[in-house]
Structure 1
Amino acid sequence: MKSKIIFIAIALLSTISIAQSKVGTVDSEYILSLMPETKIVLQRSQNYGAKLDSSFNIKVKTYQTKVDAFKKNEKTLGELAKQAEYKELAAMEADIQKYQQNGNKLMQLKQEELMRPLYKKLSDAIATVAKSGKYTQVLTVSGNEFAYIDNNFDITKLVLNNLGIVAPTETEE
């Protein structure tokens, strides 16, 4: 008898706690793509990438000029001079590879730095909508696989409204 009462009490408590939970979803990638600031971030990161590319192209051009000069004068150079040239060319090639790797890392860091304020703004808007809608949890749709999502609990449009962004209307063909 005691175990039946405990079982009923646990079932009742778990039902009450489930009933108080409200879960919503949001498509944060979609919202980010519609934010006007995203275009500015994209332009700034492209400009930064162009600066890195121009520096990289100068290094590659210098290396190529050095290789061409070495090939042209290779037959007239002595063995020690050839070895010195090989070492210099190998060092330049390693420098170019390292510069390229660092450039990729710098580009990623710059993009993260530029996107950080947008993520903060989006996070604040989601929090505002979630609190006003009394959601206990909000899951992001992008990057996750869901078997079923009830669109009645999708707060993407509410977050867009909170940010003052008008979503494009879908046209059916």
Structure 2
Amino acid sequence: MKYLIKCLGVAACCLLIGNVAQAQIKIGYLNTSELIALMPETKAADSQFNAFAQKLQQTLQPMQQDLQTKFAEYQEQQATMADAVKESKEKELQDLNERIDQFQLKSQQDMQKKREELMGPILEKVQTAIKAVAASSKFTYILDSNAILHGPEGDNVLPLVKKELGIN
């Protein structure tokens, strides 16, 4: 009876050790920023984004120049202005400055929205390629190398994902 219990115990240990050995984790890593920068779609998105930002800047510049001109005129004539005129000019300058601030805030929001609109499909394509490489190469985890401070050695999957995306 004791012999049977020992045999069952040894068999159970062998099964557990075998299962642990089969459940090894395979870790890979890549630098997603580098990958995204290498993609031709990113260059096209960047040029579209820069053109969009330049249009906004071209709209903002005349507004800022107008404010600077009116402020310089105000400073020159301030000493000789009547109080009512001075108050009116200060209110005009304040209103113009507020409109510029609102335009800048709205521009920043529009630029963020445009960046997300342009980069969304690129990020989705990268994610799909990473998943395909993980499945085909049987990686348990693929991590971004920018977030790894220290960890077990893994495989750099950047070349595999570049190949999946057709990037040389």
Amino acid at match of 2:27: V
Q: Does 1:99 align with 2:103?
A: yes
Moved more, 125-134 or 14-23: 14-23
> Normalising to structure 1: TM-score of the pair?
0.79
The 1:76/1:17 distance shift into structure 2, 3 A limit, reads farther
Cα deviation, 1:19-55, whole Å, max 9, x if unaligned, reads 3432211211111111011111111111111001011
Local SS of the residue matching 1:24: strand
Count of aligned pairs between the two proteins: 158
Superposed displacement of residue 65, structure 1: 2.4
Q: Does 1:79 align with 2:100?
A: no
The 1:47/1:96 distance shift into structure 2, 3 A limit, reads same
- Structure having the higher Rg: 2
Distance 2:54 2:124 in 1: 27
> Normalising to structure 2: TM-score of the pair?
0.81
The 1:99/1:13 distance shift into structure 2, 3 A limit, reads farther
Structure-2 residue corresponding to 1:64 = 68
Q: Does 1:147 align with 2:150?
A: yes
Structure-1 residue corresponding to 2:31 = 27
Moved more, 60-69 or 120-129: 60-69
Q: Does 1:160 align with 2:162?
A: yes
Local SS of the residue matching 1:147: coil
CA RMSD of aligned residues (A): 2.5
Cα deviation, 1:92-111, whole Å, max 9, x if unaligned, reads 11221232233223222211
The 1:147/1:20 distance shift into structure 2, 3 A limit, reads closer
Cα deviation, 1:53-107, whole Å, max 9, x if unaligned, reads 0111011112122223323443443111111111110121122123223322322
Gaps of 5+ in 1: 167-173
Higher helix share: 2
Distance 1:65 1:36 in 2: 44
Local SS of the residue matching 2:29: strand
Amino acid at match of 2:59: S
Structure-2 residue corresponding to 1:43 = 47
The 1:71/1:125 distance shift into structure 2, 3 A limit, reads same
Amino acid at match of 2:165: L
Gaps of 5+ in 2: 1-8
